[in-house]
Amino acid sequence: MLVTTHLFTPGPTHMPEAVRRAIDVPLQDHRAPDFHKLVLPLQEDLKKIFRTESGEILLFAGSGTSGWDASLANCLSPGDKVLTASYGHFSDLWIAMCKQHKLEVEVIEGAWGEAAPIAEYAKRLAADTNHEIKAVLVCHNETATGVTSDVAALRAAMDKVNHSALLMVDGVSSIGALEFRMDDWGVDLAVCGSQKGFMMPTGLCILGVSQKALKASEVAENPRGFFDFKGLLNQYKGGYFPYTPATTLLHGLAQSCLMILEEGLDNVHARQFRLAEGVRRAVQAWGLELCSRRPEVHSDTVTAILVPEGFDSNDVLKTAYNDYNLSLAAGLSKVAGKVFRIGHMGAVDELMLLGALATTEMVLNDVGINVTLGSGVVAAQKYYRESKQAEPQKAVA
Amino acid sequence: MLVTTHLFTPGPTHMPEAVRRAIDVPLQDHRAPDFHKLVLPLQEDLKKIFRTESGEILLFAGSGTSGWDASLANCLSPGDKVLTASYGHFSDLWIAMCKQHKLEVEVIEGAWGEAAPIAEYAKRLAADTNHEIKAVLVCHNETATGVTSDVAALRAAMDKVNHSALLMVDGVSSIGALEFRMDDWGVDLAVCGSQKGFMMPTGLCILGVSQKALKASEVAENPRGFFDFKGLLNQYKGGYFPYTPATTLLHGLAQSCLMILEEGLDNVHARQFRLAEGVRRAVQAWGLELCSRRPEVHSDTVTAILVPEGFDSNDVLKTAYNDYNLSLAAGLSKVAGKVFRIGHMGAVDELMLLGALATTEMVLNDVGINVTLGSGVVAAQKYYRESKQAEPQKAVA
Amino acid sequence: MLVTTHLFTPGPTHMPEAVRRAIDVPLQDHRAPDFHKLVLPLQEDLKKIFRTESGEILLFAGSGTSGWDASLANCLSPGDKVLTASYGHFSDLWIAMCKQHKLEVEVIEGAWGEAAPIAEYAKRLAADTNHEIKAVLVCHNETATGVTSDVAALRAAMDKVNHSALLMVDGVSSIGALEFRMDDWGVDLAVCGSQKGFMMPTGLCILGVSQKALKASEVAENPRGFFDFKGLLNQYKGGYFPYTPATTLLHGLAQSCLMILEEGLDNVHARQFRLAEGVRRAVQAWGLELCSRRPEVHSDTVTAILVPEGFDSNDVLKTAYNDYNLSLAAGLSKVAGKVFRIGHMGAVDELMLLGALATTEMVLNDVGINVTLGSGVVAAQKYYRESKQAEPQKAVA
Amino acid sequence: MLVTTHLFTPGPTHMPEAVRRAIDVPLQDHRAPDFHKLVLPLQEDLKKIFRTESGEILLFAGSGTSGWDASLANCLSPGDKVLTASYGHFSDLWIAMCKQHKLEVEVIEGAWGEAAPIAEYAKRLAADTNHEIKAVLVCHNETATGVTSDVAALRAAMDKVNHSALLMVDGVSSIGALEFRMDDWGVDLAVCGSQKGFMMPTGLCILGVSQKALKASEVAENPRGFFDFKGLLNQYKGGYFPYTPATTLLHGLAQSCLMILEEGLDNVHARQFRLAEGVRRAVQAWGLELCSRRPEVHSDTVTAILVPEGFDSNDVLKTAYNDYNLSLAAGLSKVAGKVFRIGHMGAVDELMLLGALATTEMVLNDVGINVTLGSGVVAAQKYYRESKQAEPQKAVA
């Protein structure tokens, strides 16, 4: 293949070169005398990115999905009641995993394209005076619909009624890219993977665990298997693992953390907003609708776009992939065929997004969705120019 | 660091250059129209290496330890009885995981340095006329002691009494390197990881699952979380994954399988024997004892060496690592401080092993274990020369 | 740096991933018994790409500039007369090197933006009845102005008067990408480097040498130093080098040749035309002028664009580089400040060019050149869609 | 290939991993506004390694052989007299290049295995009262025989008679690894390549040029072609190149310099001595002779070993390569068939050398040279242990 397919899925994302090279290392002994020199600083950097001082960040060979498993398995017991909401593919998958773990799942029916229904959560929490709910689950950034939910508000709702449940948050496609404040928001379990905001290959499950969650894990009765917190922590606190960790990916993650922290979390979030906003302006110019229903909930890591009635979004995907070397993301489950998605996390910039938007315009026309060629590009160009001029000037070499 | 530390642990092992380069690729969409072109042939190649035609080879982001979890979680129910034996660190860890999964574990007490006590297994199986035992577990190659067990004999013992239990085998440090015959031996669950015989970085759990095990998984009641077979298989049979797989590692594994199959499994096993035998001759020449008690059970992927009474094998490890850039493997749990190990899997050859043996001789003397310098090297040299001359001649360019 | 600067210079170009990985290999002995297995097939592949059967393709550690040196040094003697033309930065540099080699240089004054003035060459050749001209030099693709010249016509002019001079062609930015026919065009010395059509890093001088040129080199009297043909050929014909070659780059070049030949030279040329034509349509839509004056001579590997009077093209370059992560190429010598260039060789496709064009539009506006945002993008989109539809359909997976 | 052939040639050498990764970067524009940020610090680091403050270090795409060419071409004129000595393959090749450049070469006949005959140089210089000799050439480290010459003594001989000639030194296999003091020794042209002491792939010619040599280049009349100092220096002093440089290799060289300077030049030299001395002890234990005749002149970067009468060293090479995956270096020209060589530059340590020595013992026996297996290994082990104990202790982690 002459040109590598251009990847605009919401994870995996484009790796920065420095991350890619950090991973491309010979193998090493994870029980070597100096191995902790890799692991302990990495733990500290991850804490900064999760914005937690009191919690622990655990690492497993796995993925974001593993993280859901690990959270439920370690901190809950069969029959425990959890409160959650259904408003997208990934929130639903988490619900399915709860059921698999034999939890009693109270599901708030939300809407695809809407954020987590915090008011309804609040109502249910208030009604739960006996604190039968042991954990409250929420998907921070629903990757399927491109919607970001208000975790701080959910915490406020819990605090208002002094609810004792654990707060478990799927931050798979948010942490590292979008604002996430584990301590401020009182998140007890923050689930992440390596292949989204951390701009890495898939292969690591990254888990933020509060002290409260650690305590819960001591009494919970679900079998945890591989993901057992206690089994890990004993050695992990000293910078080691009780089993073979994915060392090459740990090196990449260390590099990724370094880059994120050097840029500064606030700058990363601002960059994510800016890149995403350009894409949204393009979609608006095309006359198409976002899956996300309100500006307040638009995700800055992924944009889900509805194709007009009568069209199949899979045609968009296939044409993009086969004819233009462009990898867009599919609509999933309820919105399969209705939505295509553009990811804008990782090592991506304006030029790449403009190329992707221009190509998408061609693709849309090819499948019969007659957007005006160039219309989205121009909208994005204008926004990118304006917003760049608002930035502090860089010195010209 | 000028020279990368020389790795002689029994996994991770040295990656072949071609495997390393196969992993160093840009990221891609695992839902792309042609992604199955990577996954389906990989499944077929893995079947050849596991020597199964009827089973499935499943892949998860994870490690060998994940594989134990996956096996127990998918195919058993709480309270199920399993029969297993304790004769090393890894067999013991698996026992611990059984307990965590709330299984009733019948443990045959074996000896560290001995293989799985097949006769005792046979006795217990024969006594279990009601087939209360639902699974028989065995560690094929106990990495902690350098001992290989006779899985075929265990299967024969099961067959002799027509026992219906599942046969679950930890093949983490054997499959891909040592003879392993999933179908011939009637293995129902064969557990492997990427970082041993497959000469890869850690990060993949590779699982051989028989049709019988798949059926068992349909009725078993343990929660499986991330490792759910059914959830995977639906898409996996078409070459896709229901969640993000570790794509870069899949590329590496494909390359690794290619290399193993090109060399031929029998040739791989013969090479492993030859390399290992050289190391064993060296140990004998040193006047040291192997942890493995009998030639019949010596492992060809790892050699565990006992330090004489009064010495701490950790001193060997530290001196090797800090003074000579050599990464040997530690003794684990019961043999911590008593054993050091030399791994000889992966991209390793005579020259590398001779360098490691020569260095180990220096290290041993440095810590006060007075082996004769050169004695082990000479024993290995002699063996390697003799055994090479017995090989068919390669044409000289 | 989060995103690697987007490279749109006319060499170095984007490397295909497979080429990049082919280079990233451990070092090896260039006198090893099997080294010829790398070199001999590479020689054959290069002959196919140069389209020569009778000539030799020589490889030196060096660059395109080295190739000029090598050609003049090996085949000419001090005081020899050469006929050439001045019509761009690179043709001029070659003239300067002729003078340095103490050749008598007859220079036809051409125009920047025009191709080599073949008619004038013809006139001079016809007048040279004593064949005092020992070599005729021409720059096939003048990278500075984006102009391709008609080598076949120059050969015809030589043949018409049965001129005995050597025909030396600078094919640095053409060979591998544009049509080049060494045998058909009777080229005696074809000069190329690795970093343009061969999509490689700089570091190799690639030289096509006819039998006639080899014979000339036997009597020529210029010192050749490192570039001595005879010194090389003795071992080179057997697949070896008399000194250490750049082995890692040889591996990359082998991969590059493989890809070019798999695609097919005609397909490569067609792709180059198509990509370039999209860029030209964009420039036209912007209302800007090309440096190249006539469609017949437009280069398909690089497009040189004139900024309007009163603007400095260096501002375009700096703004693109510093504000938009886009690396365009500068105007050189006579057109410094007047021209900026977009390279479109190597691993580049429509999406990338559309991204570069969209970004260039922003840059132009930023520096005060008010092209309509989106205008060039739309022109390119339209052309790319139309021309794609004219292609044979690819099957959709 | 499972295991990469073990490389023990005296250049190319083993690359450190960090160097290899530094090279594996995307391509970039060498005229970009910030390109000088790579080149200028690199120039400074190279000056430290060449130990010059007043000279310039020039970089060309090329190799060590290019460096000879560049030196002669820039600083001398046809007919100029140069004084040099013949005592090995590489000193002879340089003589041949002098002749090619039409210099008048006064050759002192030295002996292969001996160093440059300084006394004879002194005599000739003293006799040259008219300073007809324009340049004195010496090969610092004759890679073919494993002999290091005394450049400081040659400078002293020149100074004694106030000789005005330029001092040109082939430091290809010494600079970066062996003690080399450009300013202290009054070296006017120091020739090096990337693939020896700099632990890099071949592809860069690295040249130390004194101010006196630069002045000489202004009046010298040899054509320089590609290697013209003046043409380079204009832009190079600002951190740029007048033509496309080998950017990926520049990145590698920057990393290499960083590592050398971090280790410290004196430490590098001490390490080279120690590694080499182990090899020499092994050769002595084998009862074989070095090509180098006296301990005072033994090279610390390469050891050339004579095979006994009646044996062909090429058999050693072939057997090592074909049967044991070991790449030793051949004897060249006068000592072809008589000598094999072990390189010990670059990313090499005791373990690797012990492996190579042990393997060489097997190879020697295989071809009928009956050295005692293990004898060389033991000698090296003993030396490495003793000399390590003499080092300051490293803290154990």
> Using one digit for the tens of pLDDT, what is the confidence trace for A256-266?
999 999 999 99
Q: What is the pLDDT of residues A175-230, one digit of tens each?
A: 999 999 999 999 999 999 999 999 999 999 999 999 999 999 999 998 899 999 99
Point out the residue among D3, D348, D365 whose CB comes nearest to the CB of B347.
D3
- Which domain-ending residue is among D241, D262, D283? D262
The neighbouring-strand residues paired with B86 are B109
Is B396 part of a structural domain of the chain? no
CA–CA separation, B81 vs B92, rounded Å?
16
Q: Is A346 exposed, middle or buried (0-12, 13-18, 19+ CB in 10 A)?
A: buried
CA–CA separation, D92 vs D100, rounded Å?
12
Buried-exposed string A66-79: b where 16+ CB fall within 10 A, e elsewhere:
bbbbbbbbbbbeee
To the nearest whole angstrom, how far is the Cα of B59 from the nearest Cα of chain D? 24
- Which domain-ending residue is among B227, B262, B297? B262
- Band of residue A396 on the pLDDT scale cut at 50, 70, 90: very low
- pLDDT surpasses 90 at D92: yes
Residues of chain D positioned with their CB less than 8 A from the CB of A33: 396-397
Q: What is the pLDDT of residues C226-278, one digit of tens each?
A: 999 999 999 999 999 999 999 999 999 999 999 999 999 999 999 999 999 99
- Band of residue D331 on the pLDDT scale cut at 50, 70, 90: very high
CA–CA separation, A191 vs B243, rounded Å?
15
Q: What is the mean pLDDT of residues A303-317?
A: 98
Q: What is the mean pLDDT of residues D118-137?
A: 98
Phi and psi dihedrals of C230, rounded to 5?
-60, -45
Residue A144, classed as helix, strand or coil, is coil
- Band of residue B397 on the pLDDT scale cut at 50, 70, 90: very low
Cα end-to-end distance, chain B, whole Å: 36
Do B287 and B138 share a structural domain? no
Q: What is the mean pLDDT of residues C24-38?
A: 97
* Closest of D241, D263, D242, D192 to residue D38, by C-alpha: D241
- Output the six-digit token pair for C191: 């000069």
- pLDDT surpasses 60 at C395: no
CA–CA separation, C219 vs B272, rounded Å?
60
Q: Is D303 exposed, middle or buried (0-12, 13-18, 19+ CB in 10 A)?
A: buried
The neighbouring-strand residues paired with A83 are A106, A136
Do A183 and A65 share a structural domain? yes
Is D379 part of a structural domain of the chain? yes
- pLDDT surpasses 70 at D82: yes
Is A188 part of a structural domain of the chain? yes
Do B274 and B220 share a structural domain? no
Cβ–Cβ < 8 Å for B94, B84: yes
Do A175 and A252 share a structural domain? yes
Domains in chain B: how many in total? 2
Residue A373 sits in a domain whose CATH number is 3.90.1150.10
Q: Which domain holds residue B155?
A: 17-262
The residue ranges of DSSP E strands in chain B, in sequence order, are 6-7, 56-61, 81-86, 104-109, 133-139, 141-142, 147-148, 166-170, 189-193, 204-209, 289-290, 302-306, 326-327, 329-330, 339-343
- Band of residue D392 on the pLDDT scale cut at 50, 70, 90: low
CA dihedral sign of residues B162, B166, B172, B175:
positive
Best residue in C351, C375, C387, C389 for a mutation probing chain A (most A CBs within 10 Å):
C351
Residue C211, classed as helix, strand or coil, is helix
Which residue stretches of chain A are H helix? 17-23, 36-50, 64-75, 89-100, 118-127, 151-160, 211-219, 229-236, 247-263, 265-286, 313-324, 350-366, 375-389
CA–CA separation, B181 vs B179, rounded Å?
7
How many of the other CB atoms lie within 10 Å of CB of A337?
16
Best residue in C272, C354, C363 for a mutation probing chain A (most A CBs within 10 Å):
C354
Point out the residue among B24, B73, B317 whose CB comes nearest to the CB of A225.
B73
Residue D332, classed as helix, strand or coil, is coil
Give Cα separations from B258 to A173, B200, D237 (angstroms). 34, 13, 51
Do C289 and C300 share a structural domain? yes
Enumerate neighbours of D (3 or more CB pairs within 8 A): A, B, C
Q: What is the mean pLDDT of residues A379-395?
A: 82
Do C66 and C199 share a structural domain? yes
Q: What is the mean pLDDT of residues B245-262?
A: 98
Tell me the ipTM for this assembly.
0.96
Point out the residue among A14, A350, A362 whose CB comes nearest to the CB of C324.
A350
pLDDT at B326: 98
Residues of chain D positioned with their CB less than 8 A from the CB of C201: 27, 246-249
**How much of chain C exceeds pLDDT 90, in percent?**
96
Do B310 and B226 share a structural domain? no
The residue ranges of DSSP E strands in D155-203, in sequence order, are 166-170, 189-193
**How much of chain A exceeds pLDDT 90, in percent?**
96
How many of the other CB atoms lie within 10 Å of CB of D334?
16
Do D134 and D47 share a structural domain? yes
Is C236 part of a structural domain of the chain? yes
Residue B256, classed as helix, strand or coil, is helix
The neighbouring-strand residues paired with D61 are D204
CA–CA separation, C315 vs C330, rounded Å?
10
Point out the residue among A33, A247, A329 whose CB comes nearest to the CB of B322.
A33
Residue C56, classed as helix, strand or coil, is strand
Residue C166, classed as helix, strand or coil, is strand
- pLDDT surpasses 50 at B353: yes
Give Cα separations from A134 to A94, A106, B315, C118 (angstroms). 16, 11, 48, 86
The residue ranges of DSSP E strands in C115-209, in sequence order, are 133-139, 141-142, 147-148, 166-170, 189-193, 204-209
Phi and psi dihedrals of D112, rounded to 5?
-65, 120
Residues from B contacting C (CB-CB < 8 Å) are: 17, 21, 24-26, 33-34, 396-397
Do A244 and A139 share a structural domain? yes
- Band of residue B392 on the pLDDT scale cut at 50, 70, 90: low
Are the beta carbons of A1 and C14 separated by less than 8 Å? no
- pLDDT surpasses 90 at C143: yes
Is C294 part of a structural domain of the chain? yes
Residue of chain A nearest C372, judged by CA positions: A378
Are the beta carbons of C64 and D244 separated by less than 8 Å? yes
- Output the six-digit token pair for B252: 């590496």
Which residue stretches of chain C are H helix? 17-23, 36-50, 64-75, 89-100, 118-127, 151-160, 211-219, 229-236, 247-263, 265-286, 313-324, 350-366, 375-389
Give Cα separations from A385 to A381, C6, C375 (angstroms). 6, 18, 16
Q: What is the mean pLDDT of residues D385-389?
A: 92
Residue of chain A nearest B32, judged by CA positions: A327
**How much of chain C exceeds pLDDT 70, in percent?**
98
Residues of chain C positioned with their CB less than 8 A from the CB of D318: 33
pLDDT at A397: 39
DSSP H or E segment with residue A6: strand A6-7
CA dihedral sign of residues A222, A225, A230, A233:
negative
pLDDT at D389: 82
Q: What is the mean pLDDT of residues A330-347?
A: 97
How many of the other CB atoms lie within 10 Å of CB of A211?
12
How many of the other CB atoms lie within 10 Å of CB of C37?
12
Could you tell me whether strands B204-209 and B56-61 are parallel, antiparallel, or unpaired per DSSP bridges?
Answer: antiparallel
- Band of residue C390 on the pLDDT scale cut at 50, 70, 90: confident
Q: Is the peptide bond before D12 cis (omega within 30 degrees of 0)?
A: yes
* Closest of D24, D16, D37 to residue D260, by C-alpha: D16
Residue B84 sits in a domain whose CATH number is 3.40.640.10
Q: Up-side HSE of residue A213: CA atoms within 13 Å toward CB? A: 31
Q: What is the pLDDT of residues A133-184, one digit of tens each?
A: 999 999 999 999 999 999 999 999 999 999 999 999 999 999 999 999 999 9
Point out the residue among C21, C33, C397 whose CB comes nearest to the CB of B24.
C21
Do C242 and C340 share a structural domain? no
Could you tell me whether strands B189-193 and B166-170 are parallel, antiparallel, or unpaired per DSSP bridges?
Answer: parallel
**Is D271 known to sit in a ligand binding site?**
no
Do C312 and C191 share a structural domain? no
Is C396 part of a structural domain of the chain? no
Phi and psi dihedrals of C32, rounded to 5?
-70, 155
Do A257 and A289 share a structural domain? no
- Which domain-ending residue is among C221, C241, C262? C262
Residues of chain C positioned with their CB less than 8 A from the CB of B33: 396-397
Is B1 part of a structural domain of the chain? no
Residue D99: partners with Cβ closer than 8 Å, 6 or more residues away: D105
pLDDT at B185: 98
Residue D366: partners with Cβ closer than 8 Å, 6 or more residues away: B385, D319, D323
Binding residues of C: 341
How many of the other CB atoms lie within 10 Å of CB of A186?
18
Q: What is the mean pLDDT of residues B243-272?
A: 97
Residue of chain A nearest D17, judged by CA positions: A25
Is D161 part of a structural domain of the chain? yes
- Output the six-digit token pair for B142: 């106990």
To the nearest whole angstrom, how far is the Cα of C85 from the nearest Cα of chain A? 35
Position D347: which residue type?
A
Could you tell me whether strands B302-306 and B339-343 are parallel, antiparallel, or unpaired per DSSP bridges?
Answer: antiparallel
How many of the other CB atoms lie within 10 Å of CB of C165?
21
Largest CA distance in chain B: 65
Are the beta carbons of A14 and C3 separated by less than 8 Å? yes
- pLDDT surpasses 70 at D393: no
The angle subtended at Cα D302 by Cα D147 and Cα B394, nearest 5°, is: 135
